[in-house]
Chain A
Amino acid sequence: MLAETIYKLMLYGFLMVSFACFYAILYTLGKAIRLPYLQKLSYSFGVLQFLSGLGMVTSDYLDLLWRAIILFSTFAYLFIPPIMWRVVTAFHERGTSKTL
């Protein structure tokens, strides 16, 4: 039972960040090379990331503090790609045109 619980938590953790990674890559690539279908596809990975996080949150093995932290991270990962896109575009607009 313990081994199975550990195995599931490891799997959910692995999937959560992997899906977050695919979400970020596809979202950014879709915006950068102007392919809207890639951006739409990226949202499905965002949802999968969220579901993987919920898999950890619903585990009885973790107490409330850990569930709250994981839930916070699960939401945070949803917003990282769009926020970072704005930061990076603003950063490049200022950084590359400026002469030091």
Chain B
Amino acid sequence: MSVGWLEVVVATLFLSVVVSLVLARGRHWLEPGFWKVAAIPLLAMVVHAVYDAGVHKLQTVNRPALFWAFAQAFGNLFGAGVWGFMHTLPQINLYSHGTQMAAAHGHLAFFGAYVSANLALFYYILGKTRVKEGYILNGVPWKIAYVGLIVGIFGMTAALTVAGFTQTMIERATLGSTWEAYIQAQMHPWMEEAFKWRLFFGVVFILSYLVLLYDLITAGKRVEQLKEAQLAG
């Protein structure tokens, strides 16, 4: 069996998910010190993704699988790496733990690390099982879902970050985590505005998710219809 570059990408992606999962769990259990180096494999993964994109010029028979693999590399780095790095230092986490900052980190990290990886594998398997050899898995719906889901998750993350920042600074670091401090932070304009934007991007996300479901259910059938039309025409 010859090994194509998409197989190498998907296999690396799967391995990196397992490694990052172990490292991430390790970081949460063995908090002192470990989190600072946990982002290093995530950075290495991005190097690999950019290498593949540049050298192979995105030529593949399964574009959605490839693009979700890229989303995994970048989403994992930003969600787990950048957002994790920002507030997981114990001296900071003492104040940010349990705020919307943790929710922002969780939203982007899980989307990047696991949702994107699963979607890449779904499309890869779809390409192997529902699409006959020689057919190219592509189309408009997956692109709409891809852009919509990424805009939605980054929008929610940005909104939650603003809300979490407000909680960390006002409720925790300035007013000292009292009930009164909690109420004041919840009524702060930054908090109220952030929750409105979170709702807006949540709606964007769920609409894109419906498009994704449609594409996953019908992609194989549509590719075959397209090929038949090409042969008939």
What residues make up the interface of A, taking CB atoms closer than 8 Å to B?
A: 2-3, 6-7, 9-10, 13-14, 16-18, 20-21, 24-25, 27-29, 31-33, 61-62, 65-66, 69-70, 72-73, 76-77, 80-81, 84-85, 87-89, 91-92, 95-96, 98-100
Selected contact of A28 from candidates B40, B54, B82, B83, CB within 8 Å: B54
Out of A6, A17, A29, A77, which one reaches B50, CB within 8 Å? A29
Contacts A3-B174, A24-B46 hold; do A17 and B85 have CB atoms under 8 A apart?
Answer: yes
Q: Are B91 and A24 in contact (CB under 8 A)?
A: no
* Chain B residues near A (Cβ < 8 Å): 1-5, 8, 32-33, 36-37, 39-40, 43-44, 46-48, 50-51, 53-55, 77-78, 81-83, 85-87, 89, 91-92, 95-96, 165, 168-170, 173-174
Number of residue pairs A-B, CB distance < 8 angstroms: 126
Chief secondary structure at chain A's binding surface: helix
B37 touching A88, Cβ below 8 Å: no
With A and B bound together, what is the CA distance between A8 and B48 in angstroms? Answer: 32
B2 is contacted by which of A7, A29, A87, A99 (Cβ under 8 Å)?
A99
**Which residues of chain A have C-beta atoms less than 8 A from B91's C-beta?**
6, 9, 61-62, 66
User: How far is the CB of A1 from the nearest CB of chain B, in Å?
Assistant: 9
Offer 18 A-B interface pairs, CB within 8 angstroms, sorted by A. A6-B95, A6-B96, A6-B168, A7-B169, A10-B96, A14-B83, A16-B85, A17-B81, A24-B43, A25-B50, A28-B46, A73-B39, A84-B43, A85-B47, A88-B48, A89-B51, A96-B4, A99-B2
Q: Contacts of A13 on B, CB cut-off 8 Å?
A: 85-87, 89, 92
Q: For B169, what are the chain A residues with a Cβ–Cβ distance below 8 Å?
A: 3, 6-7
Known: A13-B89, A32-B51, A77-B43. 13 other contacts (CB 8 A): A2-B174, A6-B169, A7-B169, A10-B87, A10-B96, A17-B82, A28-B54, A73-B37, A80-B44, A84-B44, A84-B47, A92-B5, A96-B4
The SS class assigned to the B binding surface is helix
Check if B54 sits within 8 Å of A32, measured CB to CB.
Answer: yes
B38 to A, closest residue via Cβ:
A73
CA–CA, A70 to B89, complex, Å?
10
Indicate if the CB atoms of A32 and B53 lie closer than 8 Å. yes
> A21 — which chain B residues lie within 8 A by C-beta?
43, 46, 77-78, 81-82
Q: How far is the CB of B149 from chain A (nearest CB, A)?
A: 20
Given known A-B contacts A16-B85, A25-B50, A65 and B8 have beta carbons under 8 A apart: no
CA distance A10 to B87 in the complex (A): 6
B50 in contact with A73 (CB, 8 Å): no
B78 near A9 with CB under 8 A, answer no
Chain A residues within 8 Å of B36, by CB: 69-70, 72-73
Query: With A and B bound together, what is the CA distance between A17 and B91 in angstroms?
Result: 18
By the criterion CB–CB under 8 Å, are A100 and B81 in contact? no
8 cross-chain pairs, A with B, having the tightest CB-CB distances, nearest first? A32-B54, A3-B173, A84-B47, A28-B50, A14-B86, A73-B36, A17-B85, A17-B82
